[in-house]
Structure 1
Amino acid sequence: MSQLFTPLEIRDVTFRNRLWVAPMCQYSAVDGIVNDWHHVHLAQFASGGAGLVIAEATAVVPEGRISPEDAGLWNAAQIDAWRPVTRAIAERGSVAGVQLAHAGRKASTFSPFAEGSGSVPAAEGGWTTEAPSAVAYDGFAAPEAMSAGRVGEVIEAFRQAAGRAIEAGFRAIEIHAAHGYLLHEFLSPLTNDRTDIYGGTLENRARLTLDVVRAVREEVGEGVPLLVRFSATDAADGGLVTDDVAQVSAWAREAGADFIDVSTSGLVAHQQIDVFPGYQVPHAARIREVAGAPVGAVGIITSGEQAERILAEGSADVILAGREWLRDPHFGLRAAAELGEDPAALWPAQYLRAHRAPALARA
């Protein structure tokens, strides 16, 4: 058996393989409530062979949404809306996970396919954003600096959202501390100039993320896998570098996290990124080495052979992909075929007749 299709156990959950779906925002919810689009979008990846399907960045409070069309888990109606989605994923042999998030200073923005750009005005459904410091993202409205009391409220919001996620049927939780959103903003010296216990040293800047990890772990209990997504580098002078994030990853494990989902950047508009197939894998490998934590690698991973090579080299324990699943919702089935896996072990019975392409008739 390939490493990619070897099951993985984390706490009380067994993932059937190590090819997972990264969270991808759909900007299609209404008042934080998901709908048929999300149902079909996520369930298709389970049919397509994914070991874990992580639902998009899901706001823990209304003001934590990236856009007014983001999904949420701050009320009971949202729990009810998520239940058919998580049930569909489980019925297809995969594990349903959700990424809990607060967008911080990058909240209240127009979705990528809206007519506007930048921050949404209050008159059009937007709101005042919040951040560790009153430092705006380029082209966005300035946020308000959060009080220590407000920081505590956000920690509690993550806790409560995690409880709702379990009620909704999710079996794995990911905390979003990447891509320039609130927890990442606290972590980075480029966006955090506080002088209280949440600013200054790396340990202080990591305090909010670690407090969230502890709160979520306490809420969901010992059996639920807890992932944290970090940006391994800010890709900008004076920002976070990979060894900083490796240290925070080690602290996160001590606080109750099980797994580090390694991405990069997203904090500042002037970041400089060299993009190529597997470009984020070296960061995952470094965090795995320094933190001693199991990690996931992501970033232009598009074939079973490439994914298997990354695992075989010891650079990661799991492969996550996003856009490749959008291009091919049966990426898992294709990767299994590329690696010579038994089709009966992964392919839905309804699809087995198509496992082998028919021979082309000769003219």
Structure 2
Amino acid sequence: MKKTVITLADGRELFYYDSGDGEARGGYPDRRPLEPMHRAAETRYDEAQGEWIAIAAHRQNRTYKPPADQCPLDPTHGDRLTEIPAPDYEVVVFENRFPSLGGPDGGRCEVVCFTSEHEKSFADLTEAQASLVLEAWTDRTADLLARPDVRQVYMFENRGEEIGVTLAHPHGQIYAFPYLAPKMERAVTQAAAYRERTGRNLFEDLVERESAGERVVDENEHWIAFTPYAARWPYEAHLYPKRRTPDFTALDDAQRAAFPSIYLSLLRRFDGLFPAPEGGAPNRTPYIAAWHQAPKRAPGAATEIALHCEIFTVRRAPGKLKYLAGAESGMGAFASDTTPEQAALALRNAGR
């Protein structure tokens, strides 16, 4: 992998990731007349809930559903200037122009463009392309965890307007939190309590229990995907390496080689859940893919938390969405519209 670092016109960093050594991406300057980046986000602590909240009022002015020919994540062509100065790229990561984090309290937000092809989706990538994305995720994890202001590095992809996506180009994001996100803080607490109670690792036991059950969706020698026993969403799958690792940097060569095929297969299974729309357009199930990694400065986290991805869709049936109404939004009390066993069967069949 070749990594090229440049500075955008407003002072933000951009990283090109290429599978070969032949491309000279750094020779293209950012020609936009941008003002210096102003990081106005702050974090505030909710004492009643024990959670940190990011306050980022400047995000009200972020780019919202531009026409396809004005997408800021496409490569630059002629006088059509975008976030990526080069006329082509394989994988690009850059600091978000409208970050939720990164003010005086620390943290950082980045955007990951999986491909320069605007009409594609992650599920359309080749295994080689998916492998390069994995290498970019790994590199960014290492860099961001080395920052003193970062405690947790979280990769995620939002896909589909139903999720709230405002840029159609295939991309994901990275949030380098200066605090533990609420879900991660609960996982650290649960894993520590499980270790104290049983002397074993919570996530290793979870994967072992699921590996022989009816909720398995797909697996290969090094990875396994299953619907969780207590799923919150109508269709939800979790992907784990069979040998527990705390984060992307700890994956071995065999796990890396086995990753692209099962991850692409899992995303394609989500696309196969529901009938394709009329008119021949590709079926694109809206989803969130959320990568959990062990945080820093949390006692025992590096030895207890397991790298894994949680993928779920807000679509519960053709033309029907799962809305988080009074109980879910108001109290965080989820009720699923399907059983995890039914969802696992549907996802297995969607791959045929």
Normalising by structure 1, we get a TM-score of: 0.31
Higher strand share: 2
TM-score of the superposed pair, with normalisation by structure 2: 0.32
